[in-house]
Amino acid sequence: MNSRQKKVAAKRRNTRIRKNPEFSQEEWDALSFVLGWCMRCGSTVELTRDHKEPIGKGGGNTLSNLTLLCRTCNELKGAKRFPEITPKYLLPSQEERLRSLPDSLRAVVTEAIYGHYSSH
Q: At what angle do helices 25-35 and 92-99 cross, to 10 degrees?
A: 150
In angstroms, the CA 103 to CA 24 distance is 16
Domain count, the chain: 1
pLDDT, greater one: 41 or 117: 41
pTM > 0.85: no
120 is a domain residue? no
119 is a domain residue? no
Beta bridge partners of 47: 70
Its domain, for residue 72, covers 3-114
pLDDT, tens digit, 9 for 90 and up, residues 46-101: 999 999 888 888 889 999 999 999 999 999 988 887 766 555 678 999 999 999 99
